[in-house]
Amino acid sequence: MSKGILGDREKALEDSYFRQQDAKLLDSLRKGAALDDVAVALSEKLRVDDPELLAGAREAGITAETPAAFLLAPLAQVAWAEGSVTKQERSAVLRLAVERGIDAQSPAHSQLEAWLDVRPPDALFELASSVIRRGLSVLPAKERDERIDRMLEACHEVAAASGSEVARLLGLGDGVSGTEESILDSIAKSLRGFRS
């Protein structure tokens, strides 16, 4: 009988700890914290909630100094959609990173630059989507959808960065290529493709 009581107590403590980690992440997301703060809260959640996912991120080269870059990996993925990164796409990715609180002199910014210099493997992009989904899972559906929409808008901004200005002026589209549209669709499905 005492074993059952102790087991119940352990389970209650564990559940409480998981809720605390979710609450920290939720608080970071809701108060519009810089990506560095969100990334720290997310890594704490993953440490207890999904250590395999956190280990995968570490194996992919994400360090304690660079997790914020991981949250912007979809931007780099879009920049590489057509096989190379244009000057305009690079500029858009790095500008969006700074707008989201990543200091231009930080290791996370340097990591993004490295990903824009040499294309990361698809596995990194897939892992980043899994981590982002996990982080967003603590939000109510409406907030989660709004955050996903903002991420997709940023991805679209990168895709449109090197599009033809003439085409835009003539009303012939936003300069996003078919290949970029395909990547945008893939990212959208990945970010929206989880079950709460």
In degrees and rounded to multiples of 5, residue 191 shows phi and psi of: -70, -30
Which residue in this structure is represented by tokens 């910014």?
A: 109
Is 36:101 a contact under the CB 8 Å cutoff?
A: yes
Which pLDDT band, with edges at 50, 70 and 90, does 53 fall under? confident
What are the tens digits of pLDDT across the range 82-110? 999 999 999 999 999 999 888 999 999 99
Judge whether residue 11 has pLDDT over 60.
no
In degrees and rounded to multiples of 5, residue 28 shows phi and psi of: -60, -45
Which residue in this structure is represented by tokens 């970029």?
A: 180
Which pLDDT band, with edges at 50, 70 and 90, does 70 fall under? confident
Among residues 128, 138, 102, the alpha carbon closest in space to that of 18 is found at 138
Residue 88 or residue 165, greater confidence? 88
Which residue in this structure is represented by tokens 């690079």?
A: 90
Which residue in this structure is represented by tokens 């989904």?
A: 133
Residue 60: CB atoms within 10 A of its CB come to 18
Which pLDDT band, with edges at 50, 70 and 90, does 196 fall under? very low
At residue 137, the pLDDT reads: 81
At residue 166, the pLDDT reads: 41
